[in-house]
Structure 1
């Protein structure tokens, strides 16, 4: 009888966990759908700009023709980038405390690295003030708010560098697994496990056994495409090192030097 009760309790816990996981996947799917709608709008805009410039023909002053050629060139580069990164490009998310200042960078994200005084209350509770999704390219909505932060942007650095020892503003780091337009799963790391954080009035959910293990467990393709979702803090420092200096990287086989 006791064994049956224990099994029933374990089953209830698993069911509750699966329910939370499904809910969180649904949340990320809703965001991904919104991002793809915006991407399609941007692709249509780039195609229109190229078509509009081509319709001008060879009529006009040399300055107008040069401007037309520049417009075609810029639109072509933008369109090519959108098409190249269209599939499987959203892979991460960070939930952040309020920052020390209210300044925003060119990507629409707040620039503060450390939390504001009072962001964590005396009873060790806090509210999530900002959520950033990380992907292969940056995407802004119609109001120029970030839907996706480019993984190379400064605002994305905490996704790679935050640790429980030095969390900065990060409360939760999430790896999002997707294929084409479908979210397959999420895995979370808590950077401030002692903190009871709330998002939109609800306790912050935590799914899975860790983002790194999720990234390492995925099947790899024949390209380096997937590495951007599992870059580690030391690798991120090398990637973001100034281009006008020499960076020396050493390590044993399989330690991620090439990545």
Structure 2
């Protein structure tokens, strides 16, 4: 009979303080996907992503976690209520299927009250792939404005919906897995994103020129393609061989 995997460690409190702190640090710096949506009717941000478990495990773990997580996404009329770590969390703004990406993506940084400039430290963001045949007219240059508003950005994730799971709502917790589509299709997704971004940048340049402002160019960081699945429903699936090597590290 195969022994069961232990789920409890009752001797944890007996470990040396230094070792316990290392465990807390590891738990507090685990990468998460923070899905975030904005409700213009209430001027509030919401997330289906639960707070890190380390914040409610023990008093010591909470004190340690608060060195890494901050309540964020305050607005002019609402208090911050979502814990966020800009160095390790991927900030994901899903596309709302009915309306697409609108002004809330384009004006994201101005909607968030961020007196401590926490969002300046964001390293990874994710946006949904938008096919040309479903892109709304008002979605022009929304992604470009959103992406270039993070000065320390190191990674952009283009998110594909897993067709086998159907439409995943914006209020569902998700995880990202390797894309398993045909390599040619994924390269076309990457190419379309690149062309779309360049077109949006051109629009921004024209707007700056008309307003008499100086346009500052922007280079995309690393771009990766991932598919999203409902949290806990993904399993471990491998993408096309060689595709990650072709895309990872590619700068536009």
TM over 0.5: no
Q: Which has the larger radius of gyration?
A: 1
TM-score interval (norm. to shorter) = under 0.3
Higher relative helix content = 1
Compute the TM-score of the two structures, normalised by the length of structure 1.
0.25
